[in-house]
């Protein structure tokens, strides 16, 4: 079984380039994952692929069963996760279609099942979260990007909001004051749950729009979908090269 997994976000619910070997649906004590897990070859390596929002895309960020997703991958034997996240940018130097490898996160979500150890049937477990994204996986991504001459943003603070709506200008101004560079809706509690399961986890964040108040007009799905279509090709290129290092 594969030791590495890719969690695909918006714009990567399917990956035709994967050489399909098997499809498994691991029910967990937390319920079913968002979609059946695809076991496939990508280049010379075997990987597990899971569509975070379902396939087809059906689960809003706050309705994703993050615990079932991570538990199912753990049950499969996965210990390294490369997560793809679509994000908005607060910084003018990180325009749409940019790829960002964040190193920090601020969690603004609420009401999500965010731990495997709530203190009921499982004793409370305090994880160290000083570096929320695995330094080992981040280094591999950054080295690979350099090797294939792909420009990426090497550090950023990911602000994770509740969704599914986008943010107001005032909210984005607040996030900027907090030190946030990019804003998305899915890195948390995913990253923390992976840490609880002792799985390495890194994010490949694709910028698909400028955040509210940072562009000349309103944010449209047309511009987001265009940035997804163009930028996701480079995300796939980075993943293929990294997984086959």
d(CA 91, CA 157): 11
Return the H-helix or E-strand segment holding 45. strand 45-51
209 is in an annotated binding site: yes
Asked if residue 10 belongs to a known ligand binding site, the reply is: yes
Q: Which of 88, 54, 80, 240 is nearest to 163 (CA)?
A: 88
Q: 62: which DSSP letter? A: G
The answer on whether 210 is annotated among ligand-binding residues is: yes
Length in residues, the chain: 245
CA 81/CA 137 separation, integer angstroms: 9
Residue in 176, 181, 11, 185 with CA at minimum distance from that of residue 100:
181
Q: Which of 91, 84, 92, 88 is nearest to 209 (CA)?
A: 88
CA–CA dist 129, 63 (Å, integer):
24
- CA dist., res. 233 & res. 221, Å (int): 19
Closest CA to 26 of 81, 65, 79: 65
Measured distance CA(90)–CA(173) in Å, rounded: 9
Does 245 carry a binding-site annotation? no
CA–CA dist 205, 181 (Å, integer):
11
Indicate the annotated binding residues.
Answer: 10, 52-53, 185-186, 209-211
Q: Which residues are annotated as a binding site for substrate?
A: 185, 209-211
Feature table: binding site for phosphate: 10, 52-53, 186
């Amino acid at each position: 079984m594969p030791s590495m997994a890719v969690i695909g976000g918006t714009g990567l619910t399917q990956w035709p380039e994967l050489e399909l070997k098997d499809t498994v649906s691991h029910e967990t004590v937390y319920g079913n994952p968002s979609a059946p897990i695809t076991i496939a070859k990508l280049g010379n390596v075997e990987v597990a692929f899971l569509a975070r929002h379902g396939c087809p895309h059906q689960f809003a960020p706050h309705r994703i069963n993050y615990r079932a997703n991570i538990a199912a991958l753990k049950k499969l034997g996965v210990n390294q996760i490369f997560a793809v996240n679509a994000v908005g940018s607060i910084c003018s130097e990180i325009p749409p279609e940019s790829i960002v490898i964040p190193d920090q996160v601020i969690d603004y979500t609420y009401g999500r099942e965010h731990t495997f150890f709530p203190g009921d049937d499982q004793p409370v477990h305090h994880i160290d979260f000083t570096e929320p994204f695995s330094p080992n996986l981040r280094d591999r991504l950054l080295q690979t990007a350099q090797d294939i001459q792909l420009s990426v943003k090497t550090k950023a603070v990911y602000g994770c909001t509740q969704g599914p709506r986008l943010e107001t200008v005032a909210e984005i101004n607040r996030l900027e004051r907090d030190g946030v560079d990019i804003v998305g809706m899915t890195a948390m509690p995913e990253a923390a749950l992976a840490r609880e399961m002792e799985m390495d986890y890194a994010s490949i964040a694709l910028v698909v729009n400028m955040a509210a108040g940072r562009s000349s007009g309103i944010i449209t799905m047309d511009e987001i979908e265009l940035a997804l279509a163009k930028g996701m090709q480079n995300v796939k290129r980075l993943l293929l090269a990294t997984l086959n290092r």
